[in-house]
Amino acid sequence: MSDIKTDSFPIEYLKNLLQGNRKICLSIANEYIAQKHTYPELYEEIIRTSLYEVGRLWETKQISIATEHLATSITESILNELFGQIIVKERINRKVVVACVQNENHQVGAKMVADTFEMLGWDSFFLGNGIPDEDLVEFIHETRPDLIAISLSIYLNFSHFQRLLERLKLEFPDLQIIAGGQAFRYITPEITARLSNILLFPDLYLLEKYILFLNSKN
């Protein structure tokens, strides 16, 4: 793997992801980090780029739903395996709840958000997908986090996202909410401008800067 050039990593990762080569994908991820790239770079430039392409291939019927599910499963297993490397010992005594909008089936993006918080000393409660709004609200009451992060991958779930925001603002008026996900690529600026009192992050680089800003105020 050591002879892979930087610009070839996304190509090699995607190729092996579609072929179901989990071990090779993990080796590519580890080699990318060994070449002095950061984990946010790995997540953005390799993993997210590849999964977006997998989604495009499925939407255009160039791959089957089984192949799409396999690619997602492999990526989630790699993120879980890398978790022990990204978590830091120094904690800052702050908590974030990370969840997907109800009815979402994709949780990899939310997992990478949770990991980014962990890299920077936060305790992240990653709830993933399939959490009903009522249960999410109850969990937030129980854990009392400093921040809520919501992931929206599918544009068709935007109405669910809006209802969830209204509920969260009602229940937790003083709690900052942040959001992101692939769906926001298809939502017009006019619509997002009406989402008051939340922060939208198009990538992990800006999220990392925001977390560091919050950490500096700790």
The domain ranges of the chain are: 6-86, 95-216
pTM of the full predicted structure? 0.92
The pLDDT, as a whole number, for residue 91 is: 92
As given in the structure block, the two tokens for residue 6 are 């930087």
The pLDDT, as a whole number, for residue 3 is: 56
Query: Do the beta carbons of residue 118 and residue 148 sit within 8 Å?
Result: no
Half-sphere exposure of 137 (CA within 13 A, CB side): 14
The pLDDT, as a whole number, for residue 68 is: 95
- Cα–Cα distance for residue pair 58/63, rounded to 1 Å: 5
The pLDDT, as a whole number, for residue 5 is: 59
Query: Does domain 95-216 match CATH 3.40.50.280?
Result: yes
Question: Which region holds residue 61: left if phi is over 0, alpha if psi is between -120 and 50, else beta?
Answer: left
pLDDT below 70 — which residues of the chain?
Answer: 1-7
As given in the structure block, the two tokens for residue 24 are 């090779």
Half-sphere exposure of 171 (CA within 13 A, CB side): 19
Architecture field, domain 6-86? Orthogonal Bundle (1.10)
**Is 95-216 in the same CATH topology as 6-86?**
no
